[in-house]
Amino acid sequence: VDERIVAPLNEMFKAMRAEGLQPLVCSGYRTIEKQHNLFEDDIKQQVRQGSTYDQAFYKAKEYTAMPGASEHHTGLAVDIVGKSHQSLNAAQARTKEAIWLAEHCAEYGFILRYPADKRDITGIAYESWHFRYVGVDLASKLYNNGDWITLESYFGITSKYN
C-alpha cells in the first residue's frame, strides 16, 4: 500500500482487534498487469457460464475495474475481509468485520468506496470489502449516518453511468 495509509490502516485494525475482530487485507496495491489478469479471468468465468464474450465483458465491468482504472493501482485502496470469511461475495457484507468497517472506517480516513445502491453513480456494484483512503476530513464528510456519499457525488462528477 501507499505509505500514507500504513499508520491509519494499522490504527483501524488495532481498534478492530481490540473488539475481538480479525481483519485481513486480501488485496492492496495491484499492478496494471495483475488487474488485466483479474479482469480477463472474470470474463472467462462468465463465458464458461454461458455468456457471449461481449456479455461477459460488460458483466465483468460491473465487479472488476478495467486495467488502468483500478483504485488499487494508487496504493490507496484495500480490500478488507474477516479471517472467518475470506470470500469476496454478498455474504461478506454480513460479517462482523464488514459491519464494523462500514460504521467506523471514516474515523480512520477510509470510505466504503462502492456502497450498496450506488452502482448507477460509481459504475461498480456494491463491494462491502473495498475501502479507499481519503483522509479523515473528507471521509467524515462522505459518511452520513450510515449512508455513504460517493466521491462522484461529492465532487460533482458525472459518469457515463448516470
CB 100 within 8 A of CB 16: yes
Cα 22 from Cα 14, distance rounded (Å): 10
97 is catalytic: no
CA 35/CA 137 separation, integer angstroms: 30
pLDDT digits (tens), the chain, 162 positions: 999 999 999 999 999 999 999 999 999 999 999 999 999 999 999 999 999 999 999 999 988 889 998 999 999 999 999 999 999 999 999 999 999 999 999 999 999 999 999 999 998 999 999 999 999 999 999 998 778 999 999 999 876 544
Q: What pLDDT is recorded for position 162?
A: 41
Q: What is the pTM of this model?
A: 0.89
Residue 24 grid coordinates: 485481513
Q: Which of 124, 143, 1 shows the shortest CA–CA distance to 69?
A: 124
Rounded to the nearest 5°, which phi and psi values hold at 27?
-160, 130
Q: Which of 3, 11, 71, 127 is catalytic?
A: 127
